[in-house]
Amino acid sequence: MFEKEKLEELKKNQTDWNDNKVGKSLERFPERKKQFATGSNQEVDRLYSPVHLEDFDYDQDLGFPGEYPFTRGVQPTMYRGRFWTMRQYAGFATAEESNKRYKYLLEQGQTGLSVAFDLPTQIGYDSDHALAEGEVGKVGVAIDSLKDMEILFDGIPLDKVSTSMTINAPASVLLAMYIAVAEKQGVSSQELRGTIQNDILKEYIARGTYIFPTEPSMRLITDIFEYCSEHVPGWNTISISGYHIREAGSTAVQEVAFTLADGIAYVEAAIKAGLDVDKFAPRLSFFFNAHNDLLEEVAKFRAARRLWAKIMKERFGAESPKSMQLKFHTQTGGSTLTAQQPDNNIVRVAIQTLAAVLGGTQSLHTNSKDEALALPTEESVRIALRTQQIVAHESGVAETVDPLAGSYYIESLTNKIEQEAMEYIKKIDDLGGAASAIDKGFIQKEIMDSAYEYQKQIESGNRIVVGMNKFQVKEETPKGLLRVDPAVGEMQKEKINQLKGERDNKLVQEKLTILKEAAEGKENLMPHILEAVKVYATLGEVCGVLREVFGEYQQNVIL
Amino acid sequence: MDRPIRVLVGKPGLDGHDRGAKVIARALRDAGMEVIYTGLRLTPDQIVQAAIQEDVDVVALSILSGAHNHLLPKVVELLKVENIYDETLVICGGVIPEEDIPFLKEKGVAEVFTPGTPTGVTIDFIKQNLKRA
Amino acid sequence: MDLAERLLKGEKRAAARLITKVENNEKDALEALSQIYPHTGKAWVIGITGPPGAGKSTLTDKLVKRLRKDDKKVGIIAVDPTSPFTGGSILGDRIRMSDLNTDPGVFIRSMGTRGYLGGLSKATQGAVKILDAYGLDYIFIETVGVGQSEVDIVKATDTVLMVMVPGLGDDIQAIKAGIMEIGDVFAINKADREGADRTKTEIEMMLDFNHKDWRPPVTKIVAIKNEGIEELVGQLNKHKEYLEVDDKLIERRTKNSELEILELTQQSLMDRVLNSDEKREEIRDYAEKVANREVDPYTVSNEIVGKILAKNS
Residue B78 and residue B87 in contact, taking contact as beta carbons nearer than 8 Å: no
DSSP 8-state code for residue A427? H
Residue B26: give its domain's CATH number: 3.40.50.280
- Contact residues on chain A for C96, CB-CB shorter than 8 A: 554-555, 557
| pLDDT computed for residue A369 by the predictor | 94
* Within a domain: C16: no
Residue C79: give its domain's CATH number: 3.40.50.300
Give the Å distances, CA to CA, from A19 to A8, A25, A27, A52, A459: 17, 10, 11, 18, 35
Same domain, C179 and C222: yes
Task: Give CA C102 to chain center in angstroms.
Answer: 24
* Within a domain: B12: yes
**β-pairing, C138-142 with A328-332?**
unpaired
Class of the CATH-defined domain A58-460: alpha beta
Give the Å distances, CA to CA, from B74 to B56, B79, C172: 18, 9, 50
A551 shares contact with chain C (CB less than 8 Å): yes
Domain boundary among C246, C280, C304: C246
Helices (H), chain C: 3-8, 12-23, 27-36, 56-69, 124-134, 149-154, 169-172, 178-182, 196-209, 229-243, 248-274, 277-291, 297-312
CB-based contact A213 C224, cutoff 8 Å: yes
* Within a domain: B118: yes
To the nearest whole Å, the CA of C93 is away from the closest chain A CA by 8
B70 → closest Cβ in A130, A134, A247: A134
B67 → closest Cβ in A134, A372, A481: A134
CB-based contact C90 B39, cutoff 8 Å: no
**Cα–Cα distance between A123 and A132 in angstroms, integer?**
10
Domain boundary among C199, C218, C246: C246
| pLDDT computed for residue C168 by the predictor | 59
Same domain, C93 and C242: yes
Helices (H), A33-132: 78-81, 95-107, 119-122
- The range of the structural domain enclosing residue B66 comes to 6-129
A488 shares contact with chain B (CB less than 8 Å): no
Mutate to test the interface with B, among C20, C89, C134 (most CBs of B within 10 A): C89
Residue A121 and residue A91 in contact, taking contact as beta carbons nearer than 8 Å: no
- Please provide residue C78's backbone torsions phi and psi, each rounded to the nearest 5 degrees: -105, 120
Same domain, C225 and C298: no
**Cα–Cα distance between A271 and A288 in angstroms, integer?**
25
**Cα–Cα distance between B124 and C109 in angstroms, integer?**
26
**How many structural domains is chain B composed of?**
1
CB-based contact C88 B3, cutoff 8 Å: no
Same domain, C115 and C54: yes
CB-based contact B17 A208, cutoff 8 Å: yes
**Cα–Cα distance between A511 and A528 in angstroms, integer?**
7
Per-residue b or e along B32-60, where b marks 16 or more CB atoms closer than 10 Å to that residue's CB: bbbbbbbbbbbbbebbbbbbbbbbbbbbb
CB-based contact C95 B53, cutoff 8 Å: no
Instruction: Give the helix/strand (H/E) hosting A231.
Output: helix A214-231
ipTM: 0.94
Same domain, C182 and C264: no
Helices (H), C81-167: 124-134, 149-154
Instruction: Enumerate residue ranges in chain A where pLDDT < 50.
Output: none
| pLDDT computed for residue C177 by the predictor | 57
- The range of the structural domain enclosing residue C114 comes to 41-246
CB-based contact A455 B116, cutoff 8 Å: no
* Within a domain: C22: no
Backbone Cα Rg of chain A: 24
Residue B116 and residue A467 in contact, taking contact as beta carbons nearer than 8 Å: no
Same domain, C270 and C239: no
CB-based contact A139 B66, cutoff 8 Å: yes
A557 → closest Cβ in C92, C224, C225: C92
**How many structural domains is chain C composed of?**
2
Residues in chain C: 313
Residue C176 and residue C64 in contact, taking contact as beta carbons nearer than 8 Å: no
- Contact residues on chain C for A551, CB-CB shorter than 8 A: 225
Same domain, C162 and C301: no
Same domain, C182 and C270: no
To the nearest whole Å, the CA of C91 is away from the closest chain A CA by 10
Number of Cβ within 10 Å of residue B106's Cβ equals: 9
Name residue B22's amino acid: K
Average pLDDT per run of 10 along chain C, which is 313 residues long?
91 96 89 93 93 86 95 95 91 89 95 78 89 96 68 84 77 59 89 87 82 87 91 95 92 91 84 81 92 94 86 67
CB-based contact B37 C101, cutoff 8 Å: no
| pLDDT computed for residue C174 by the predictor | 47
Cis ω for the linkage preceding C166 (within 30 of 0):
no
Give the Å distances, CA to CA, from B30 to A537, C82, C97: 50, 10, 25
Instruction: Give the helix/strand (H/E) hosting A238.
Output: strand A238-241
A93 to chain B: closest CA residue:
B66
* Within a domain: B1: no
To the nearest whole Å, the CA of A283 is away from the closest chain B CA by 28
- Contact residues on chain C for A442, CB-CB shorter than 8 A: none
Same domain, C131 and C159: yes
Same domain, C239 and C270: no
| pLDDT computed for residue C225 by the predictor | 84
Does residue A28 sit in helix, strand or coil? helix
Backbone Cα Rg of chain B: 13
**Cα–Cα distance between C131 and C76 in angstroms, integer?**
9
Same domain, C268 and C226: no
Residue A42 and residue A254 in contact, taking contact as beta carbons nearer than 8 Å: no
**Cα–Cα distance between A278 and A324 in angstroms, integer?**
9
Same domain, C230 and C298: no
DSSP 8-state code for residue A315? I
The pTM of the full predicted model, rounded to 2 decimals, is 0.89
